[in-house]
Amino acid sequence: MKQFTGFPAKMQFTPLPNLFFSTLLPQISDMAELKTTLHIFTTLYRKQGYPRFVNYRELSTNSVLMRSLKETAKSPDEALHQALEMAVKRGTILHLALDRDGTAEDIYFLNTEDSRQAVAKIQNGELVLKGRGVKKQAYIETEEQPDIFTLYEENIGMLTPMIAEELREAEKLYPESWIRDAIKEAVNQGKHKWSYISAILERWSSEGKSDGTHRRDFKKTDPDKYIKGKYGHMVQR
């Protein structure tokens, strides 16, 4: 067995629900199912937009996952198929077989309330995924945007579970372009902390933001404007 060298000083985190440890994990005895389930969690965590799902090809071309499945008695492909079937039967994930431009495609969702609603809408034709056959078009999936979690970790600091949750909540409130611009603005001002980024976002939300105006104004801005203003309590917390 190859010796693990340990975790680095800065690294990314993938949060897992407490229910995973208390209820789901004790039920899983198959190693392939456990590995596949964990990879689905981390893949979905980095997805953007709505609804969030992973397709079979993403999993089957994941070199880390497939390499780990070589340790099972079956071939990696067989192990993955069986692991997904077990996870679906257990209720961990939801499965849909859709038509993508004439080709069958298997997609998987985490079994959450939002995903259950999305699956129901897809099945009755209310929600349409780009390139996937359904009855009528009511939704077009947008292209996946660059990862704000990686942007934060590379420019601000370590992505702790708490900060990751803050970012996910921010995604629900602000356009992703705002979050990216706020991170860049914080870096430009030498403020490497989430509270400063959050204050910028709240200011834009309250006072408005336009691409032409905010860039021009920020060049003349006191780096401590967010600390001195009415959002100062947020930056200093």
Beta bridge partners of 98: 105
From first to last of its 237 residues, what are the pLDDT tens digits of the chain? 778 889 888 777 888 999 999 999 999 999 999 999 999 999 998 887 889 999 999 999 999 999 999 887 789 999 999 999 999 999 999 999 988 777 789 999 999 999 999 999 998 888 888 755 433 333 333 344 447 887 887 788 877 888 888 998 998 899 888 998 999 899 888 888 999 999 999 999 988 886 533 433 433 444 555 554 544 544 444
What's the pLDDT score for residue 138?
Answer: 30
C-alpha span between 193 and 195 (Å, rounded): 6
pTM for the full predicted model? 0.57
pLDDT value at position 29? Answer: 95
Let me know: does 79 contact 172? Beta carbons within 8 Å: no
Q: Domains plus CATH for the chain?
A: 18-133 (1.10.10.10), 148-235 (no CATH)
CA–CA gap between residue 226 and residue 195 (Å, rounded): 10
Largest pairwise CA distance in the chain: 64
Task: Supply the pLDDT for residue 115.
Answer: 93
Question: Which pLDDT value is given to residue 142?
Answer: 37
Look at residue 54 in the predicted model and tell me its pLDDT: 94
Residues 6+ apart with CB under 8 A from 222: 228
| Exposure on the CB side of residue 224, measured as CA atoms within 13 A | 2
pLDDT at 210: 61
